[in-house]
Chains A and B, each alone.
Chain A
Amino acid sequence: MHHTLSVTVQDKPGVLARVASMCSLRGFNIRSLAVGPIHHAGLSKITLVVDDVEVEQVTKQLHKLVNILKVSELDPNESLEREVMLVRVSADPGTRREVRDTAEVFGATTIDVGANSVTFELCDHPQRLTDFLSLVAHYGVLDLVKSGRIAMARDGKAKTRSTAGEQ
């Protein structure tokens, strides 16, 4: 099990370093971390996926960082989660068709074709990425990169564990 936290931060030097190293120093294992600016100037959102630890402690320790404005835990059933993956699959002219058929079922886009490989881009729920990968695994995965998970609550479903300074 893991927990997905959505963390709103001020864009200040070192804020990412503070989050990452606070987690590692306190023994909270980060599975994935993605960050980018949001629609309010000067603010960014970090989507943090941590292993099944005392999520309450993670949340509270995050709140102690002065540049962190808000921490919400996202319930997987009540949130929208996405991850982008680029994967290069081994495919000679004989298997290329098959591989691309599988990709099509998943809605993956072919973004590069080489003599012995095809490269796909897939942006979907993390579970779909895993499913796709397991189907193409036996052709041979030559290269793989994932963006880290981003997530937001479904409309009206935000579950805020705690807001700064409050109980």
Chain B
Amino acid sequence: MTKMTGAEALIKSLEHEGVEVAFGVPGGAILPAYDPILDSPIRHVLARHEQGAGHMAEGYAHATGRVGVVIATSGPGATNIMTPLQDALMDSVPIVAITGQVSLSSMGNDAFQEAPTSGMAMHCTKHTFLVTDANEICEAVHQAFHLASTGRKGPVLIDIPKDLLATEVEWHEPAPVDLPGYKPSRGGHKRQIDRAIDLIMKARRPVLYVGGGIIAADASDQLLQFAEETNTPVTTTLMARGAFPDTHRLALGMPGMHGTYTAVTAMQRADLLVALGTRFDDRVTGDPATFAPNAKVIHVDIDPAEIGKVRNPEVPIVGDVGIILGQLGSELARRLTDGTLPDRSTWLETIAGWQAQHPLGYEQEPSGPVKAQYVVEQLLNATDGDAIVVSGVGQHQMWASQFWSFSKPRTWINSGGLGTMGFAVPAAIGAKVAVPDELVIAIDGDGSFQMTFQEMVTAAAEQVPIKVVLINNGGYGMVKQWQTLFYDRRYSAVELSLDVPNFPALAESCGWVGLAAETPDEIGPAIRKMLSVDDRPVLLEVRTDPEEMVFPMVPAGGSCDDIALGPEDL
């Protein structure tokens, strides 16, 4: 046993969990922990704002599946990470947040930089620890990593009073995790597996409705195999883009509010939905009462509370979706020895018909304003799709998801559940730190970018050469779209200046390369120029058509039957 301070024990515990990098901002209450960081192999990435540090930890976790770490001080440091915590909760991203707290004896006295961190974080984390004994630091860290990275993944916060960081403790290997109230299931219930296969063996119009759980469970290979074996088309939600290759003959693209006509309509017509690691989010279902009205539902999820929350399934299966796909596959193989699946060629032909009739589209006039969709396609061509794409929130996010062609998991990183503007730049930094050999490109909006752009400085200072393609449509395009469609074109608080800030100059001032493109024929060359820089971060500003709208569209709360292909349908 070695004696050390609580702060040293904290850092050593992080090393013990295999942490390679932590994103953070120091301050009074967390100061003791910043001293041993100097001697630790853990790389500390100094963000310019704790929200940025939190999204970096998320980007790291999205790109690798490993736990991202964010460190902040008490009070304002802690309040600044609430957005990333909630973001990570909604999208089941494994991160551990460590916050300093005022000394135990001062807690509750409105001490300088005191905030009720664990109370605030209670609702936007999977679990919180408030450490009240320095000897508990090692166990708290160990349990926090276990909770964040198992079951339904998510954020966990450890709040540590400053005096405990200075207290002398004995470092010990943390005891094995003993959480009697936390026992996530793994394999699915045999009887439910049988019932699921019963339904699959009968279904004439099945759809695999796939969510981010497939990526969290690293189950893309099992999904591909199961889809092919059952000859079932697959729709991947905003959180699941990349879980199934978009070029596959069974791929339908994204469902939901801005999903493809085919994905949305296939679910409406389906007689069976196999929902895998997904939660029937309102952005997917529209009005849940009219969603997939003829479909029986098999719902597979690691979180029992998701099952029946929105839709009561015929067959509930709780557990790890990768394991369950394996179980389903074996049972299917057994049945196929003396049975056959129904002929699905008519269903697949119907689907192919929809795809041919209503593909995603846009019109780029050669000398007209640049369409953001065109930029995404040009970027896809120039990179062969071999990149990790990160996005902000708004129209550009939808276009990136619609027009990029994903071929593998963990290549699409975005804020789905919370819709957090400002996510892209810091999340891209986190991803690039995690996988430095990959090309990491943020497709960001001018509005979203302005929420966290100080992190450009972090990227330059820490030498994290990400790329940002800034879709500058002069404002909050998505909000403007709603005002166009539902508020009689009365535009309120949606216009941002096209010229201020001068984005390339701003980027240059932060140590980046700043580029700009304004006409369709400038896009290709500008992208190539951007891709040729790899020793510095690069921002490419593209001015795009401020009038362009995202379609198809299922209006919020409306029925997926009423999917609009253009404004004339609304």
Residues of A at under 8 Å CB distance from B? 9-10, 13-14, 17-18, 21-22, 25, 56-57, 60-61, 63-69, 162, 164-167
Q: Which one of B118, B147, B316 lies within 8 Å of A66 (CB-CB)? A: B147
Contact A10-B308, Cβ < 8 Å, known A21-B123, A25-B123, A66-B127: no
| B residues 95-151 touching A (CB-CB < 8 Å) | 118-119, 122-123, 126-128, 130, 132, 147, 151
Contact A63-B308, Cβ < 8 Å, known A164-B182, A165-B184, A167-B185: no
Contact A63-B305, Cβ < 8 Å, known A164-B181, A164-B182, A167-B318: yes
Q: Is B180 an interface position by the 8 A CB rule?
A: yes
Q: Is B334 an interface position by the 8 A CB rule?
A: no
| B residues 432-481 touching A (CB-CB < 8 Å) | none
Nearest 6 Cβ contacts at the A-B interface: A165-B183, A60-B305, A66-B127, A69-B181, A167-B318, A66-B182
Q: Is B38 an interface position by the 8 A CB rule?
A: no
Q: 11 additional contacts, CB 8 Å, given A14-B122, A57-B309?
A: A10-B181, A14-B128, A25-B123, A64-B305, A65-B181, A69-B180, A164-B181, A165-B151, A165-B185, A167-B185, A167-B189
Q: Main SS of chain A's interface residues?
A: mixed
- Determine whether the beta carbon of B181 is less than 8 Å from that of A61: no
The number of residue pairs between A and B whose CB atoms lie closer than 8 Å in the complex comes to: 63
Q: Chain A residues with Cβ under 8 A from B127's Cβ?
A: 66
Q: Which one of B132, B182, B192, B304 lies within 8 Å of A162 (CB-CB)? A: B304
- Determine whether the beta carbon of A63 is less than 8 Å from that of B304: yes
Number of interface residues of B (CB under 8 A): 28
Bound form: Cα–Cα A69–B180 in Å: 6
Q: Tell me the minimal C-beta distance from B82 to chain A in angstroms.
A: 15
Using CB atoms, name the residue of chain B closest to A166. Answer: B185
Q: Which one of B151, B179, B304 lies within 8 Å of A60 (CB-CB)? A: B304
- Determine whether the beta carbon of A68 is less than 8 Å from that of B181: yes
Using CB atoms, name the residue of chain B closest to A58. Answer: B305
- A68, A164, A165, most chain B CB atoms within 10 A: A165
- Determine whether the beta carbon of B180 is less than 8 Å from that of A57: no
Q: Chain B residues with Cβ under 8 A from A164's Cβ?
A: 180-183
Bound form: Cα–Cα A14–B130 in Å: 9
Q: Is B271 an interface position by the 8 A CB rule?
A: no
Q: Chain B residues with Cβ under 8 A from A165's Cβ?
A: 151, 182-185, 304
Bound form: Cα–Cα A50–B189 in Å: 30
* CB pairs A–B below 8 angstroms (27 shown): A13-B130, A13-B132, A14-B128, A14-B130, A17-B119, A57-B308, A60-B304, A60-B305, A61-B305, A63-B304, A64-B126, A64-B303, A64-B305, A66-B126, A66-B127, A66-B147, A66-B181, A69-B180, A164-B180, A164-B181, A164-B183, A165-B151, A166-B183, A166-B304, A166-B318, A167-B192, A167-B318
Q: Chain A residues with Cβ under 8 A from B184's Cβ?
A: 165
- Determine whether the beta carbon of B181 is less than 8 Å from that of A56: no
Bound form: Cα–Cα A22–B123 in Å: 8
Contact A167-B182, Cβ < 8 Å, known A14-B118, A25-B123, A64-B303: no
Bound form: Cα–Cα A10–B126 in Å: 16
Bound form: Cα–Cα A13–B185 in Å: 26
Q: Tell me the minimal C-beta distance from B127 to chain A in angstroms.
A: 5
Q: Chain A residues with Cβ under 8 A from B183's Cβ?
A: 164-166
Q: Chain B residues with Cβ under 8 A from A9's Cβ?
A: 181
Q: Chain A residues with Cβ under 8 A from B122's Cβ?
A: 14, 17-18, 21
Bound form: Cα–Cα A152–B263 in Å: 50
Q: Chain B residues with Cβ under 8 A from A60's Cβ?
A: 304-305, 307
- Determine whether the beta carbon of A67 is less than 8 Å from that of B189: no
Q: Tell me the minimal C-beta distance from B191 to chain A in angstroms.
A: 10
Q: Chain B residues with Cβ under 8 A from A66's Cβ?
A: 126-127, 147, 179, 181-182
Bound form: Cα–Cα A57–B309 in Å: 7
Q: Chain B residues with Cβ under 8 A from A57's Cβ?
A: 305, 308-309
Using CB atoms, name the residue of chain B closest to A65. Answer: B181
Q: Chain A residues with Cβ under 8 A from B304's Cβ?
A: 60, 63, 162, 165-167
Q: Chain B residues with Cβ under 8 A from A166's Cβ?
A: 183, 185, 304, 318
Q: Chain B residues with Cβ under 8 A from A21's Cβ?
A: 122-123
Using CB atoms, name the residue of chain A closest to B319. Answer: A167
Q: Chain A residues with Cβ under 8 A from B316's Cβ?
A: 167
Q: Tell me the minimal C-beta distance from B120 to chain A in angstroms.
A: 11
Q: Tell me the minimal C-beta distance from A41 to chain B in angstroms.
A: 13
Bound form: Cα–Cα A162–B180 in Å: 14
Using CB atoms, name the residue of chain A closest to B189. Answer: A167
Using CB atoms, name the residue of chain A closest to B185. Answer: A165
Q: Which one of B119, B151, B303, B307 lies within 8 Å of A14 (CB-CB)? A: B119
Bound form: Cα–Cα A167–B324 in Å: 14
